[in-house]
Amino acid sequence: MGVYIQVLEGLLLQEQQVISSEKLAEQCEVNPSQIRKDLAYFGEFGVRGVGYYVSDLLKAIKYFLGIDRNWNCILVGVGNLGRALLRHQQLAQKGFQIQMAFDCDPFKIGERVAGHEVICTRRLKEKAQQMQIDIGLISTPPERAQRAANHMMQAGIKGIVNFAPTRINVSQDVIVDYVDFSNHLISMAFRLSHP
Amino acid sequence: MGVYIQVLEGLLLQEQQVISSEKLAEQCEVNPSQIRKDLAYFGEFGVRGVGYYVSDLLKAIKYFLGIDRNWNCILVGVGNLGRALLRHQQLAQKGFQIQMAFDCDPFKIGERVAGHEVICTRRLKEKAQQMQIDIGLISTPPERAQRAANHMMQAGIKGIVNFAPTRINVSQDVIVDYVDFSNHLISMAFRLSHP
Over residues A3-61, the pLDDT tens digits come to: 888 888 889 888 888 888 888 888 888 887 777 777 776 656 667 777 788 888 888 88
Confidence band for B137, pLDDT divided at 50, 70 and 90? very high
Compare CB distances from B135 to A5, A71, A188 and report the shortest one's residue: A188
Show me where the domains of chain A are located: 2-64, 71-182
User: B84–A80: do the CB atoms touch at under 8 Å?
Assistant: yes
Q: Class of B2-65 per CATH?
A: mainly alpha
Distance from CA of A7 to the nearest CA of B (A): 9
Question: Residue B148's pLDDT is what?
Answer: 97
Mean pLDDT for A57-85 is 91
- Is A45's Cβ below 8 Å from some Cβ in B? no
Which residues on neighbouring strands pair with residue B136, listed in sequence order? B74, B160
Q: Which residue has the higher pLDDT, B41 or A38?
A: A38
pLDDT digits (tens, 9 = 90+) for B45-60: 667 777 788 888 888 8
Contact list in B for residue A179 (CB cut-off 8 A) is 181, 184
Q: Could you write out the DSSP letters of every residue in chain A?
A: -HHHHHHHHHHHHTT--EE-HHHHHHHHTS-HHHHHHHGGGGGGGEETTTEEEHHHHHHHHHHHHT-SS-EEEEEE--SHHHHHHHT-HHHHHTTEEEEEEEE--TTTTT-EETTEEEEEGGGHHHHHTTS---EEEE-S-GGGHHHHHHHHHHTT--EEEE-SSS-----TT-EEEE--HHHHHHHHHHHHH--
User: A94–B186: do the CB atoms touch at under 8 Å?
Assistant: yes
Contact list in A for residue B3 (CB cut-off 8 A) is 178
Nearest residue to B161 via CA among B143, B176, B142, B180:
B176
User: How far apart (Å, rounded) are the C-alpha atoms in residues A188 and B159?
Assistant: 7
Question: Residue B42's pLDDT is what?
Answer: 62
Contact list in A for residue B181 (CB cut-off 8 A) is 85, 88, 91, 179
Question: From B179, which residue of chain A is nearest by alpha-carbon distance?
Answer: A184
Task: For chains A and B, count residue pairs whose Cβ atoms are closer than 8 Å.
Answer: 149
- Is B18's Cβ below 8 Å from some Cβ in A? no
Q: Residue B65 corresponds to which amino acid?
A: L
- Is B184's Cβ below 8 Å from some Cβ in A? yes
What φ, ψ does residue A120 adopt, rounded to 5°? Answer: -60, 130
Question: From B63, which residue of chain A is nearest by alpha-carbon distance?
Answer: A190
Q: What percent of chain B is predicted at pLDDT more than 70? A: 97
User: How far apart (Å, rounded) are the C-alpha atoms in residues A118 and A108?
Assistant: 7
Domain A71-182 sits in CATH at 3.40.50.720
**Three-class HEC string of chain B:** CHHHHHHHHHHHHCCCCEECHHHHHHHHCCCHHHHHHHHHHHHHHEECCCEEEHHHHHHHHHHHHCCCCCEEEEEECCCHHHHHHHCCHHHHHCCEEEEEEEECCCCCCCCEECCEEEEEHHHHHHHHCCCCCCEEEECCCHHHHHHHHHHHHHCCCCEEEECCCCCCCCCCCCEEEECCHHHHHHHHHHHHHCC
- Is B119's Cβ below 8 Å from some Cβ in A? no
pTM beyond 0.90: no
ipTM of the complex model = 0.83
Distance from CA of A139 to the nearest CA of B (A): 10
**Which one of 1.20.81.30, 3.30.470.10, 1.10.10.10, 1.20.1290.10 gives the CATH number of domain A2-64?**
1.10.10.10
pLDDT digits (tens, 9 = 90+) for B73-121: 999 999 999 999 999 988 998 899 999 999 999 999 999 999 999 999 9
Contact list in B for residue A71 (CB cut-off 8 A) is 185, 189, 192
